[in-house]
Structure 1
Amino acid sequence: KTLLTDAEVYAANVDSVVAINTTGTATASNGFWQTQQPTTGAGSGFVLTPDGFIATNYHVIDGAETVKVAFCNGDTYDAEVIGGEEDYDIAVIKVEAENLKPVTMGDSTLLNVGDRVLAIGNPLGELTFSQTGGMVSSVNRAINVEGVPFNMIQTDASINPGNSGGPMFNQYGQVVGIVSAKYTNTASGASAEGLGFAIPINDVAAMIQDIMTNGYVTNKPYLGVTAMTMSQDLANQFRYDITEGVFISAVDKDGAADRAGLQMGDVITKVDEHEIKSMADLTIVKKQYSAGDTVTLTIYRQGETMEAELTWDSVPEEQQQPQEAPQQPQGGNDQYGNGYMDPYDLFDYFFGNRGW
């Protein structure tokens, strides 16, 4: 590997970066009627293969009806969305092209605080093919992006709306992250300077390849429960003497949790050595495993603590896409086979994280 100057990193990679522009439709309501309003969005991406596969963020293309990409030489293409993974904020799109220049992937686990990193992207949707630079401020930074926990590389490189989905490079010109978020102090409304984030490429490289091949992530781990964060209210309701963990309100028949012997009312408190205090904790931990991996769950049941061996299932293909808002309960058999919505069903229906 050869250390490159910032200018050399840019020259070597700008042809592999794209500006992404999307259009869609959003529903607006004034309280009396709803109208359909056109929407636009902008982001960035980078070339994965010479024949037109491109990586970006899921939120860049989420809800898009048209996706167009532009290269620095002025070439523009209509793009097809191949697939994406919302929980990891990654997506793959494709253009019909040949002889494109793919990026070179690096190893994000080798990054250290203080290392130089660079981002090329489309800030504000207008300042296309801009490069910004800074240092790695933190590695393995756990942050929430719109309520979803992510493991991130933190940097002081300038990151703005429109950079999302673009590549973060190391000093060798290799992609080590996917730029994904800029921290904003929503409580005060003030933006925090020098805080940018990128998804470590090692966390998602295999999933990106999976999406390219299959259209979705085939090995995403799946527990097979309806669950929620344990709380004082739940402890009072069920007379439990714990107030933290993940409360299981339903178990999918013949799913991973069912095969492991988990039951409705169990509370997951650990996965292997990882403490689980909330759904957010379980989400972060689950991202460290793949379908087929076996873990030891520590669970609370009827006042006792016990362990269970669980082998993760893979998420069903039909659940890979964003779920529609739940419809009002209808007649017919419910998930317990009772033929009606009993109180536990209603509790699960309105308060559980279904299909988890």
Structure 2
Amino acid sequence: MYRLFLFLALLILSAQTRAQSSSDVLEDALSGVVTVAVYQTAGVSVRPLGVRGRTVNPEQAYAKALSLAGAKSSGSGFVIELNGQKYVLTNAHVVESATDAAGSLAVFSINQQKYPVRVVGGDALYDFAVLAFTTPPGPELTALPLRSAPARIGERVYAIGNPQGEYPYTVTDGIISAKNRMRGGLTGKFGFLQTTATVIWGNSGGPLVDERGAVLGINSQIAFANGPSGSSVWLSQINFALETSVVLRLLNDVLTNDGLVRRAYLGLEFSETTRISDDDERPQAATTQPVPVLSGILPDSPGKDALKGYVGQTVTAINGEGVRNVQEVLGILETLRPGSMVALTFGHGPSATTVSVKSSTLTPVELESVARYVLTSNRLSLTEAPDGIAIRFMQNNNTYELDRERRYQKTPAGFGQKQIASPSANTPRAVTYRVVAAGIQSERGSKLWRVSKLSYLGAVCRLMGLSGVVDMAVADPDNPDDVRFTRHMLSGEQDVIKACLWY
């Protein structure tokens, strides 16, 4: 009996010690977490980005309500320190709509001190952004360490952030339930930890920390499922955080490569095609099994000579790793560094052929090439002008336009043309429009980025390619308030989805 009482006493003491230790760690971590506030927006997204001692009283986090008066949107973030300089890490979707004007972005510290910040860079594909302070940060802002050791299944973790913009320094707990998750959206696709630590809107960009207060990931996404009635159901036990092994690579690139992530470039188009039906019994049902195909070679491709005879063939492996769809092709190519060799395998079995090409570096010049390749094939003419991108719709272009019911309809034959009187007859001439934004615009929602350069448009095309469409908002210079939304089906057919990857 005595031994039983002793065992129970030790068990209770151990639990109390762990609870006390966790509380100390989390209270220390609070001073490294910030609320990110956006005060000026462009209407669309601007960019297609050790042991610490306690230095502040954690009670400051809850002393009074945080005022976000005037803020157009908000999210979370956290402070890190590199080479003696402090930065804030957050999600790209938290800050990408902010303008470049001074005062458009700010962060609030644990004692509600407001600090202006600017975007250093980031990457929409990973939903990652780095912010820099434009005035010296105060001593209450302490840096959180980024953990390099991988997360373990079942490991206890804590999510910290400002859900709904109303509850700063909210802490939830859970475990690591899965690793290396891939998401199906346009952005934030690779390198995610799955966790049961509940997050919701406003938590985006906040840290996921371990029991020692080290950051394991950036809280980024939540999960939904279709309910019996067709409505979305929030799955509170399925949450995603971008893991720090990816964060460390992206951070190094952003800080040493003018705000951009370094990527290899092959100048190739990979695609998969799915024909869909939209009948009462099988709405949006696929009638074909997609496979990845090398469907095009861009003019500046470093592999254009070696691969010109393989257009139209199925890609079965890259660098010896099998691929079943374009998403898996993207996943492998994202691990490459510029200048690396890439081995593409076509076909199966004894008849399989492998061709190796050396990649180059993705730069704004290559992104311009992507924009022209994608849209000129749809009989569009693109020119970069000082005031933005000029676009003309040539005769017989394959364009759809958003109607008043927010559905895309095939445009008439004369779309984008004006009749110019001449002595003999009226002659159609293409109207020059200005591209305002690009992305996706539909009855289900929108994701648009402002594009003032062809390289920006090329970056948006790369993000949109897997959706099978590129939407653009265009305005007639003679009537700039009349903005029209046009859709460009990459397959050329409304009932065929051609998911494309330009890499």
Q: SS in structure 1 opposite 2:327?
A: helix
**C-alpha separation between the residues in 2 aligned to 1:182 and 1:216?**
27
Structure 1 residue 306, shift from structure 2 partner: 0.9
- Provide the TM-score with structure 1 as the length reference: 0.78
2:43 is aligned, of 7, 15, 26, to: 26
Residues 51-200 of structure 1 correspond to what in structure 2 (within 5 A)? 51-65=85-99, 66-96=104-134, 97-98=136-137, 100-109=141-150, 111-146=151-186, 149-186=189-226, 188-200=231-243
2:296 counterpart residue number: 250
Identical-pair percentage: 22
How many Å separate the matches in 2 of 1:251 and 1:146? 23
- Cα distance in 2 for residues equivalent to 1:223 and 1:188: 41
Give the distance between the partners of 2:71 and 2:304, measured in 1 at CA. 43
Distance 1:258 1:342 in 2: 29
Q: Is the 8 A contact 1:152 1:199 kept in 2?
A: yes
Q: Is the 8 A contact 1:55 1:93 kept in 2?
A: yes
Give the superposition deviation at 1:219.
Answer: 2.3
1:16 to 2:16 alignment:
no
Q: Residues 63, 248 of structure 1: CA spacing in aligned structure 2 closer, same or farther, 3 A cutoff?
A: farther
How big is the shift at 1:104?
0.7
Q: Is the 8 A contact 1:125 1:162 kept in 2?
A: yes
Write out per-residue CA displacement over residues 160-215 of structure 1, whole angstroms, 9 at most, x where no aligned residue: 11111111111121111111101111454111121111111102212112212333
Measured at CA, do residues 118 and 246 of structure 1 come closer, stay the same or move farther in structure 2, by a change above 3 Å? same
Three-state SS of the structure 1 residue aligned to 2:182 is strand
| Stretch deviating more after TM superposition (323-332 or 136-145) | 323-332
Change beyond 3 A, Cα 1:168–1:283: same
1:229 maps to 272
- 1:30 matched residue in structure 2: none
Whole-angstrom CA distance in 1 between matches of 2:211 and 2:489: 52
Report Cα offsets for 1:303-331 as digits up to 9, x if no partner: 95310123333221467799899586129
Task: Please state if 1:40 is matched with 2:72.
Answer: yes
Cα gap change, 1:52 to 1:319, in 2 (>3 Å): farther
2:440 is aligned to none
Check whether the contact 1:108–1:177 (CA below 8 A) recurs between aligned residues.
Answer: no
Question: In 2, Cα distance between the equivalents of 1:89 and 1:41?
Answer: 17
SS in 1 for 2:251: helix
Question: Aligned to 1:207, what secondary structure does the other structure show?
Answer: helix
- Displacement of 1:53: 1.7
- In 2 relative to 1, CA 320–107 (structure 1 residues): closer, same or farther, beyond 3 Å? farther
> Which residue type is aligned with residue 96 of structure 2?
D
Choose which of 312, 329, 335 in structure 1 pairs with 2:380.
Answer: 329
Deviation at 1:286, TM superposition (A): 2.0
> TM-score scaled by structure 2?
0.57
- Contact 2:199/2:239 (<8 A) preserved: yes
C-alpha contact (below 8 Å) 2:326/2:499 kept by paired residues: no
Q: Residues 115 and 218 from structure 1, CA distance in 2 versus in 1: closer, same or farther, beyond 3 angstroms?
A: closer
* Aligned-partner Cα distance in 2 for 1:216–1:55: 13
Query: Does the alignment pair 1:284 with 2:335?
Result: no
Taking a change above 3 Å as real, the CA distance of residues 323 and 142 of structure 1, as seen in their structure-2 partners, is same
Looking at structure 1, the residues matched to 366 and 198 of structure 2 have their Cα atoms a distance apart, in angstroms, of 35
Would the aligned equivalents of 2:272 and 2:500 in 1 still touch at CA under 8 Å?
no
Give, in whole Å, the separation in 2 of the partners of 1:280 and 1:212.
28
SS in 2 for 1:261: helix
Contact kept? 2:123, 2:261, Cα under 8 Å: no
Verify the 8 A CA contact 1:149 1:280 in the aligned structure 2: no
For structure 1, which segment, 268-277 or 321-330, has the greater mean C-alpha deviation from structure 2 after superposition?
321-330
Which of structures 1 and 2 has the bigger CA Rg? 2
Mapped contact 1:216–1:320 kept (Cα < 8 A): no
Tell whether the 8 Å contact from 1:26 to 1:39 is kept in structure 2 after alignment. no
How far off its partner does 1:115 sit? Answer: 0.5
- SS of match in other structure, 2:31: helix
| Greater Cα shift, 95-104 or 195-204 | 95-104
What amino acid does structure 2 have at the position aligned with 1:279? Answer: V
Give, as a single letter, the amino acid of the residue that structure 1 aligns with 2:333. K
For the residue of structure 1 that corresponds to 2:27, the secondary structure is: helix
Range with bigger deviation, 95-104 or 112-121 = 95-104
Alpha carbons 1:24, 1:39 under 8 Å: kept: no
SS in 2 for 1:145: coil
The gaps in structure 1 that reach 5 residues or longer are 28-37, 234-241, 333-339
What is the CA–CA distance in structure 2 between the aligned matches of 1:214 and 1:221, rounded to whole Å?
A: 14
Question: Is contact 1:120-1:131 (8 Å) kept?
Answer: yes
The structural deviation recorded for 1:26 is 2.9
1:50-93 deviation per Cα after TM superposition (whole angstroms, max 9, x unaligned): 53421111111122222221111111122211111111111111
Q: Which piece of structure 1 moves more, 39-48 or 128-137?
A: 39-48
Q: What is the correspondence of 1:268-307 to structure 2 with a 5 Å cutoff?
A: 268-300=315-347, 305-307=352-354
Inter-partner Cα distance in structure 2 for 1:114 and 1:208 = 27
AA matched with 1:44: S
The 8 Å contact of residues 268 and 296 in structure 2, kept in 1 or not, is answered as yes
Are 2:283 and 1:215 equivalent residues in the alignment?
Answer: no
Structure 1 position 243, deviation (Å): 5.7
